[in-house]
Chain A
Amino acid sequence: MLSAIRSAIATPDLRRKILFVLMIVAAYRLGAIIPAPGVSYTAVQAAREEQGDDVLFSLMDLFSGGALTQLSIFATGIMPYITASIIVQLLTVVIPHFEQLKKEGQSGQAKLTQYTRYLALALACLQATGLVALASSGQLFGGVEDPVIPDDSVATTAMMVLAMTAGTATMMWFGELITERGIGNGMSLLIFLNIASQIPIEGGNILQSRGEAVFVVVCVLALAVITSVIFVEQGQRRIPVQYAKRMVGRRMYGGTSTYLPIKVNQAGVIPVIFASSLLYLPDLLQRLAAEQTDVTWLQTFIQDHVVDQSSPVHIAGYFALIMFFTYFYISITFNVDDRAEEMKKFGGFVPGIRPGRPTAEYLRFVLGRITLPGSIYLGTVAILPNFFLAVTDPGQNINFPFGGTAVLIMVGVGLDTVKQIESQLMQRNYEGFLR
């Protein structure tokens, strides 16, 4: 491990890439705290002090690394880009021209990327406008005396929107630069950064409000959670496979590792995101309908049991949804019949099991058995922060970065990046360090 790190740093090319990423990271963090023109910095800081966490905004804040509530030039975060790329992805199914471009490989992909950028800018402009409007009308921070935007003339507002849109473009560029000239996927790395940058802040909050003992316990727990997440993420079941097509007359090589790997967490983070989005829906609907004065039993129920994250109903529902989506997602992404068919065609088989339908049955059996612990694991990690609620600030706290989606994303991106470094090393014929 140490020698691998040493060779990573000793390889000039790789060292340059790592330094490049660090440089971009620094620039990115700097941008996240530079206030947009027209914002009263002191008023924003005062408001942030005073403000309790609001669920919706705090989630967005988490994904923008705190830039949103700072009203910085990077306030829109990279959400516009992510949304744009999802929309363009979906459009490839709908618009024939997009579909054709997608099939045309690199040159077509380049055009799609270009469209994604334009769309992202449009979305950023929209989001920035909304944000500035919210902030200047005082809705972003409730109950603040000093206005965060002292001068709310059209010119200033336009300038702020322009600055934030330009900020989005810069962030996109940063992300692409990392992908192109650095290491790992730039966009994922920026998300990672946003989440990770919240850890010291949240840690500080706990230290201040709860004292040192609790802080130490939380740190140990957090480490334990991260370690076990890494452990499970690396876990896989290896189904031995033999290829009987080309071995005739050739010496057999002992121990060539021919196997089909199935991860314990085969579904990744997607089920958690699906489940949490679904649980936000009632809250969102209710907010939209907030004008109504009479409170129905349904609204009370939603307020008490769905929105309130510490309620047992919420936790149980969340857990069940995650388990459901895990099974659902695996069943559509891992088509055992296709796999068995493909193996049969190319002369592969699982020793002791006939190709074709018996192999498919076997794969289905193994997959089904491994999905159960996988889904329980996902559910557990996801609901962890809800248990932590009592420890940190009372009330809503999705922001807590030691569990749930945040830790899954962080570990996922972290492992990916390390793997990328390793893969760069291996291309140069050094041995890797992950086993």
Chain B
Amino acid sequence: MTQKQASLLTRSRRLLRRLVDRPASVDLTRYEALLPAVGAREQDLLELTDAELTGAATALRDSDGARPTPTDEQLVEICAIGREAGRRALGERAFDVQLLGVMGLLTGRVIQMATGEGKTLVGAIAAAGHALRGRHVHVISVNDYLARRDARWMRPVLDLFGVSVDWVEPGHGRAERARAYGCEVTYGSVSEIGFDLLRDRLATLTADVVQRTPDVAVVDEADSVLVDEARVPLVMAGSVASGAPDTEAARIVSRLRPGLHYETDADGRNAWLTPAGTSVVEKALGGVDLYSEAGSRRLAAINVALHAHVLLTRDVDYLVRDDKVQLINTSRGRVAELQRWPDGLQTAVEAKEQVPPSDQGEILDSVTVQGMLARYPTVSGMTGTAVAVAETLREFYKLEIAVIPPNEPNIRLDAADRVFATRADKFRAVVAEVQRVHAGGRPVLIGTQDVAESEELAGKLARAGLDCVVLNARNDAEEAEIIAEAGTKGAITVSTQMAGRGTDIKLGGSHGTTDDYEQVVELGGLYVIGTARYRSSRLDDQLRGRAGRQGDPGGSIFFACLNDEVVLAGAPDVPGNPPTDDNGEVTSPAISRHIDHAQRVTEAANLEIHRNTWRYTRLIERQRDDLLGYREEVLRGERATELLRSRCPQRFAELDAVLDGAARDRVCREILLFHLDELWSRHLAVLADVRESIHLRALGRETPIDEFHRAAIPEFHAIYPEAERLAEATFAEITVEEGGADLAGAGVRRPTSTWTYVVHDNPFDSDAEQALKKVRGTLRKRRG
């Protein structure tokens, strides 16, 4: 067989496999054809000095950057320089597969590369490639630690390209941020970049705006950011003085008894008064009718107090520290520093704990991760697990996936799940398994569901005489250090799925010798144990992917039981009474299939929530864009001055006499911007209100989302005239003195402090979603 025939055969075989497997990925042959050209260029570049190499990169700059995707020649040159730059700066010569990844990123794809294949370098070369074509790149990572680490790590490579690079992190001031965003390549965590966007949107001076127009986003861990966290809202809140705490409601509620006076639902999300409870409360309040039009204000206070009293538990949901109530983020097991409960719930909890009321937060602006990324004309990403979310990426982002083969074939052994009847049986088996594997010194990594489970398991391991290290999501940098050592001989590491993302686990330890490495390889490499299946198979795969990097040996196994969260959420009705052996292990293969089914159900439910949230937020983001267009004209142009000059010429003349041109413009601008921003904040609150009950429309055979739009659109269009009217009124009121105007006196008061936070779990919003799903579910069932 000639070589040509052979390559034709492999090619057609691959084509066939692509058709039969998941048809989700793009064909790589086009990129593969370019690799020989890159290889041919290698020798030439090797002989250049550093300055000459940078020169070669700079030569690409004046090429035509207007084209949406680079030409083949450009791809070849970028890859060749990238390989050489990586070799010189880091001592890492990029493999062919990494260069395929670079080409995927440069053409706007999401690339799937296994853990340990060197995604960071791929991202940096691609970012440099975009920058050389005159574009401005944000490399978006999942946390601040990774953003800083990658920026520092990759700086020498980008320097050789002659491309400027910097990063943003929470500690940075405005000047540092402006400088970082001024660079051609900016590294940052998704929340940090999002918060800067929110702050920029509320700036009243052009000098305060730090970000440039979004251009290219290269997203690391693309599936987490684009899918798992896509519907997470980033929020900017401002403080408003809190109302007096309703101690009366708190006092009345504290006397009520569960079952008799109030009831809660099974998942602890809602609490409500029984008829008996209602009479008690009405009597205590002096005989008002809570459910009349007039009584609803009192009812709201009672409901919130009841929620605070019954559903929120001290030291589980919040801490009381220094006379302050602080929220605990349960999924991460740490205090959510800046987050507060919305709509009076915070005050109610403070009343319950009898601490002085803090300022209330009012949402000034908010953007979802997806909405933020939608602003970038070019989005590309890299991740270890993309194929499973191919449909989602295509639907929400119009992104295609390129699956990059591993440099060395993966030889990890994935064992079949072991299923147990009860949780106790499962944990006993996990401990036994750790004991068995650990006996020979093979390193073990155990992935748990949450921090509490990590702690529990660590306790059990300790009782069995096994020393382990627990990662409990306290600090990203420390976690990275610990997880990097998980491959050391004899190590037992317990960690949540999230912890230590983006850090490579090298066998034999991060600073281990070749000897250490060989020893661990001998033992079979890293052994990964999952204590339960996650809510999506993708998360399972991410955990498995910790082992078997770069062709290393490794193994993985998942334990499961019938009370696992994923089973309870997805398919709680387990068929029959499954047979078990003496250790409580279920032997029937049908149960295994049932767990797979449960996982698929939860995946589908999450996707549905994502789709639903996106449908509701899409209009809001569009309206925000519309308003920001107007705001931009006010901020950068003379729009406010023109408006007020024509609306109140007399007043304008008075002002003009006292103030110089710049000061006058500034006053006009601030007045109009203030009203625009305030009306937007109000608009958000109105929409949240509408959203709450819109699911009821489904009962009248209407589509809730359409009805939501019908309510939201006129509301939005009223903002412009209203803002102009209010600006006019304020303008007439302000008192002017030498050098400026007393804006505060006329009510133009921006919040004294603002803060930003990420809402990971909002009980209220999910209420609306739950209710909507329920109503739709019953309707569909009945119709079907």
Residues 556-613 (chain B) with a chain A CB within 8 angstroms: 571, 597, 600-601, 603-605, 607-608
Instruction: Evaluate whether A105 and B604 lie within 8 angstroms (CB atoms) in the complex, with A241-B693, A250-B685 already known.
Output: yes
Report how many A-B pairs have Cβ atoms within 8 Å: 176
A332 on the B face (CB < 8 A): yes
Identify the interface centre among B272, B626, B783: most chain A CB within 10 Å of its CB: B272
A431 touches B717 (CB 8 A): yes
A263 vs B391: C-alpha distance in the bound complex, in angstroms? Answer: 37
* Other-chain contact of B601, A104, A251, A345, A352 (Cβ < 8 Å): A104
Which residue of the partner chain, among A236, A249, A427, contacts B709 with CB atoms under 8 Å?
A427
A263:B344 contact, CB within 8 angstroms: no
A110's closest neighbor in chain B, by CB?
Answer: B391
User: Given known contacts A103-B571, A104-B601, A342-B775, is B243 in contact with A249 (CB within 8 Å)?
Assistant: yes
Bound Cα distance from A249 to B243, whole angstroms: 7
- Bound form: Cα–Cα A141–B583 in Å: 74
A residues contacting the other copy or chain, number (CB 8 A):
61
Given that A244-B303, A335-B778, A355-B291 are known contacts, is A429 also in contact with B342, CB under 8 Å in the complex? no
Q: Are A247 and B300 in contact (CB under 8 A)?
A: yes
Interface string of B770-784 (1 = CB under 8 A from A): 010011001100111
Q: Which residue of A lies closest to B611 (CB)?
A: A106
Of A249, A427, A430, which one neighbours B242 at CB under 8 angstroms?
A249
From A108, A243, A253, A262, contact of B699 by CB (8 A): A262
Q: In the bound complex, how far is the Cα of B210 from the Cα of A360, in angstroms?
A: 56
Is A246 in contact with chain B by the CB < 8 A criterion? yes
Q: Is the CB of B291 within 8 A of A246?
A: no
Tell whether, in the assembled complex, residue B709 and residue A342 are in contact, meaning their CB atoms are under 8 Å apart.
no
Contact B778 A432 (CB under 8 A): no
* Contact (A429, B623) CB under 8 Å given A246-B344, A335-B778, A354-B278: yes
A423 x B571 contact (CB < 8 A): no
Task: Find B706's partner among A107, A333, A426 (CB 8 Å cutoff).
Answer: A426
Tell me whether B636 is interfacial, beta carbon within 8 Å. no
Among B265, B623, B709, B716, the residue within 8 A (CB) of A345 is B265
A6: Cβ under 8 A from any B Cβ:
no
Verify B608–A105 contact, CB threshold 8 A. yes
Knowing A253-B686, A338-B778, A345-B270, the reply to whether A261 touches B604 (Cβ < 8 A) is no
Interface centre among B764, B767, B775 (most CB of A within 10 A): B767
- How many chain B residues have a CB neighbour from A under 8 Å? 74
Within 8 A of A (CB), among B225-273: 242-243, 246, 265, 270, 272
A248 lies within 8 A of B714 (CB): no
Mask of A415-430 contacts with B, CB within 8 angstroms, 1/0: 0000100110011111
A264: min CB distance to chain B, Å: 10
Contact with B along A78-110 (1 / 0, CB 8 A): 000000000001001000000010011111100
Flag if A250 contacts B714 (CB, 8 Å).
no
Q: Roughly how many angstroms separate A339 CA and B699 CA in the complex, as a whole number?
A: 9
Contact A256 B604 (CB under 8 A): no
Residues of A within 8 A of B623 (CB): 429
Contacts A246-B342, A266-B701; is A427 near B782 (CB within 8 Å)? no
Task: Please state if A262 and B700 are interface contacts (CB–CB under 8 Å).
Answer: yes
Q: Are B619 and A427 interface neighbours, CB within 8 A?
A: yes
A297 at the interface (CB under 8 A from B): no
| A312: interface (CB < 8 Å) | no
Instruction: Tell me the smallest distance from the CB of B698 to a CB of chain A, in Å.
Output: 9
Q: Which residues of chain B are near A364, meaning CB under 8 Å?
A: none
Are B689 and A432 in contact (CB-based, < 8 A)? Answer: no
- Is the Cβ of A345 less than 8 Å from the Cβ of B272? yes
Q: A246-B300, A354-B275 are in contact. Are A346 and B686 (CB under 8 A)?
A: no
Q: Choose from B291, B605, B706, B771 the contact partner of A422 (Cβ within 8 Å).
A: B706
CB–CB B700/A241 < 8 A: no
Question: Do B597 and A105 touch across chains, with their CB atoms under 8 A apart?
Answer: no
Alpha-carbon separation in the docked complex, A430 to B303 (Å) = 37
Interface contact B701-A268, CB-CB below 8 Å: yes
Q: Is the C-beta of B711 less than 8 angstroms from some C-beta in chain A?
A: yes
Asked if B12 is an interface residue, CB under 8 A from chain A, the answer is: no
Taken residue by residue from 668 to 683, chain B's Cβ proximity to chain A (1 for < 8 Å, 0 otherwise) reads as: 0000000000000010
Given contacts A246-B344, A344-B272, contact A429 B716 (CB under 8 A): yes
Interface centre among A248, A349, A352 (most CB of B within 10 A): A248
CB distance from A279 to the nearest CB of B (A): 23
For the complex, is B702 an interface residue (Cβ under 8 Å from A)? Answer: yes
Contacts of A339 in B (CB 8 A): 699
User: Within A323-342, which residues are at the interface with B (CB < 8 Å)?
Assistant: 332-335, 338-339, 342
Cross-chain contact of B714 among A243, A345, A431 (Cβ < 8 A)? A431
The docked-state distance in angstroms from the alpha carbon of A108 to that of B601 is 9
Task: Contacts A427-B619, A431-B717 given; indicate if A244 touches B299 (C-beta within 8 A).
Answer: yes
Known interface pairs A353-B291, A423-B706. Does A249 touch B714 (Cβ–Cβ under 8 Å)? no
Instruction: List residues of B (444-487) whose CB comes within 8 Å of A's CBs.
Output: none
**Docked-complex contact B292 and A351, CB < 8 angstroms:** yes
| Residue A282 lies at the interface, judged by CB distance under 8 Å to chain B | no
Could you tell me if B275 and A356 are in contact, using CB atoms closer than 8 angstroms? yes
Verify B303–A333 contact, CB threshold 8 A: no
Least Cβ–Cβ distance between A148 and chain B, in angstroms: 40
Are B291 and A248 closer than 8 Å at their CB atoms?
no
Residue of A nearest to B774 (CB): A342
Interface residue A347 (Cβ < 8 Å from any Cβ of B): yes
Report whether A431 and B304 are in contact in the complex, using a CB–CB cutoff of 8 Å: no
Question: Which residue of B300, B626, B702 is within 8 Å of A245 (Cβ)?
Answer: B300
Q: B296 an interface residue at 8 Å Cβ cutoff?
A: yes
Q: Is B741 an interface residue (CB 8 A)?
A: no
Bound together, the chains give a CA A126 to CA B296 distance in angstroms of 63
A347-B601 in contact (CB<8A): no
Check A257 for interface membership: any CB of B closer than 8 A. Answer: yes
- Render B612-623 as a binary contact track against A, CB cut-off 8 A, 1 for contact: 000000110011
**Chain B residues positioned under 8 Å from A354 (CB to CB):** 275, 278, 291
Does B436 make an interface contact (CB < 8 A)? no
Q: Is there an interface contact between A249 and B716, defined as CB atoms closer than 8 Å?
A: no
Residues of chain B within 8 A of A260, CB atoms compared: 696, 699-700
Chain B neighbourhood of A263, CB < 8 A? 700-701
**CB-nearest residue of chain A to B603:** A105
A249: which B residues are within 8 A, CB to CB?
242-243, 343-344, 347, 360
Output the least CB separation between B617 and chain A (Å).
12
User: Which one of A250, A256, A352 contacts B711 once the chains associate, using CB atoms below 8 Å?
Assistant: A256
**Interface assignment of B340: CB less than 8 Å from any CB of chain A:** no
A128 to B25, CA, bound (A): 40
CB distance from A414 to the nearest CB of B (A): 15
- CB–CB A423/B703 < 8 A: yes
Rounded to whole Å, the gap between the CB of B88 and the closest CB of chain A is: 47
B312 at the interface (CB under 8 A from A): no
How close is A390's CB to chain B, nearest CB, in angstroms? 35
Asked, given contacts A236-B700, A248-B301, A423-B706, whether A258 binds B693 with beta carbons under 8 Å apart, the answer is: yes
Complex: how many Å from CA A344 to CA B710?
26
Q: Across the interface, which residues of B come within 8 angstroms of A280, CB to CB?
A: none
A242 within 8 A of partner (CB): yes
A173 at the binding interface (Cβ < 8 Å)? no
A348 contacts chain B at the CB level, 8 A cutoff: yes
Instruction: Kindly report which residue of chain B lies nearest to residue A335, judged by CB atoms.
Output: B778
Contact of B710 among A241, A244, A246, A426 (CB under 8 A): A426
The answer to whether B62 has its CB under 8 Å from any CB of chain A is no
- Report Cα–Cα, A426/B597, bound state, in Å: 37
B693 partner residues in chain A, CB cutoff 8 A: 241, 243, 258-259, 348
CB A255 to nearest CB in B, in angstroms, measures: 10
CB contact between B343 and one of A248, A349, A426 (< 8 Å): that residue = A248
Return 5 A-B CB contacts under 8 Å, by A number: A246-B692, A346-B270, A351-B291, A426-B710, A426-B713
**Given A106-B391, A245-B304, A257-B690, 16 further pairs, Cβ under 8 A:** A92-B784, A100-B597, A244-B303, A246-B344, A246-B689, A246-B764, A248-B246, A249-B344, A251-B685, A258-B693, A259-B693, A345-B272, A346-B767, A351-B292, A351-B296, A352-B292
Q: Which 9 A-B pairs rank lowest in CB-CB distance, beginning with the nearest? A: A105-B604, A261-B700, A248-B344, A426-B709, A246-B343, A244-B300, A249-B344, A104-B600, A244-B299
